[in-house]
Amino acid sequence: MTRSTIGWIWVAGQAILLGALILLPGRDDWPTPSWLLVVASILFFGGLILVAMAALRLGSALTPTPVPTAHGELATGGFYRFVRHPIYTGVLTLVAGMTLRSGSWLHLVIALVTLVFFDRKAAWEETQLRERYPGYDDYAATTPKFFPRPGQR
């Protein structure tokens, strides 16, 4: 299989998981008081904003699949200074918001599967990034994958 094909398989898996979270109805497995709905909304919209801003930072190097473009440069500024995969961080943040709002154990299970999925997708993508960018290992050694370290600059 080509890298491109594998990349599209990752995208399809992501679409299935996110689609399930969006389309499955919520439940009453746990209470969702108004304060929790506020937190869930902040996470959801914060995640959307992070995805958009991190995608804009990539500019023409942004691709729909986790295969780097031939003309792109390694992004290490902006949100990429704090985490290696800020788009994935944004997606995981909005997934957390959707899950909290849902009140559903099924949504929670799908959210956990989504977290593992993005961890594996990022690991696959990083093999591509290491081949494409000679300085990637140094960047990865000092920059966390998804969540910034406290006090990190």
| Contact status, residue 146 vs residue 85, Cβ threshold 8 Å | yes
Encoded tokens for 39? 């937190």
For residue 27, give the H/E element and its range: none
What percent of the chain clears pLDDT 90, i.e. is strictly above it? 90
Please name which of 90, 112, 100, 114 lies closest in space to residue 39, comparing C-alpha atoms: 100
The string of pLDDT tens digits covering residues 92-128 is 999 999 999 999 999 999 999 999 999 999 999 999 9
Domain ranges of the chain: 3-67+74-142
Instruction: Kindly report the pTM of this predicted structure.
Output: 0.94
